Amino acid sequence: AIALRPRLLIADEPTTALDVTTQAQILALLKRLSAEDGMGLMFITHDLAVAADRSDQIVVMRGGLVQEQGATRAVLAAPASDYTRTLLADAPSLARVVERVAPDASASTARTDALVEVTALTQEFRRPGRSPLVAVDDVSFSLKRGTTVALVGESGSGKSTVANMVLNLLDPTEGKIIFDGVDMSTLGRKELFAFRRRVQPIFQNPYGSLDPMYSIFRIIEEPLRVHGMGSKKERAARVAELLDLVALPRSAMRRYPNELSGG
């Protein structure tokens, strides 16, 4: 996009899938090109932090209509529209997270046993004529019931590979994964089928993980049908209910993944 040194660059969510360090490099490059070459930059983003840090003017849109526009500093300091105020209130703030008081341990749930235990997990990928690529090297952690564990790192650091092994989509080269007291390496076909119902992933790229030939209805209904949950009528009602829960119109069930936005 920048090879021809354009006068105007329209960047539509250019850093969404990037880790924060790579994102910072890309944003710094665009800022430098804008300053050096006088390039105009239209930055389309849902990330308020990026918009606040990198824009001179900001236009807030909702439902195809402009809710508010003006100098970035003025809009963020004193938003005029209710929608902009809602966006700012809902935007995660690292400062707020760091300052948040830790929950009282005595008020936590009584169940503290581990749901997932990962021990000395290693994953190597063979490369013909070269030494194996070590994607994951001696990783151990535990996840207690009702808690959250975050795997954080740059792109290529092995996070998704760990997830794929916990999902039993990849066999570890070494190490052990215990889920709900059961060693994952001992699961037979029947046990693995039951496991699939209990452990579900949300993949990073929706267009890469949703079947482009399936309608939205079929995509949502398929796991219910595969696991024998409900009648055909009950499954259809459940699909409609789930669309309502995420504020998608029920007409969306007749569409295909490429007819919806990434968000």
Q: Tens place of pLDDT for every residue, the chain, 263 residues?
A: 889 999 999 999 888 778 888 888 999 999 998 998 899 999 998 888 888 888 999 999 998 999 999 999 999 889 999 999 988 888 777 666 666 655 655 555 545 689 999 999 999 999 999 999 999 999 999 999 999 999 988 888 999 999 999 999 999 999 999 999 999 999 999 999 999 999 999 887 777 888 999 999 999 999 999 999 999 999 999 999 999 999 899 999 999 998 988 77
What pLDDT does 106 receive? 53
What pLDDT does 249 receive? 92
What pLDDT does 103 receive? 60
CB 253 within 8 A of CB 259: no
What pLDDT does 98 receive? 66
| Distance, CA of 73 to CA of 57 (rounded, Å) | 8
| Distance, CA of 31 to CA of 16 (rounded, Å) | 17
What pLDDT does 108 receive? 53
| H helix or E strand, kind and range, residue 9 | strand 8-12
What pLDDT does 92 receive? 72
CB 206 within 8 A of CB 213: no
Nearest to 83 by CA among 44, 40, 48: 48
The pair of three-digit structure tokens given for residue 13, joined into one six-digit string: 């969510």
| Distance, CA of 132 to CA of 228 (rounded, Å) | 42
| Distance, CA of 41 to CA of 11 (rounded, Å) | 7
Task: Please state the pTM of the whole predicted model.
Answer: 0.76
What pLDDT does 107 receive? 52
What pLDDT does 218 receive? 96
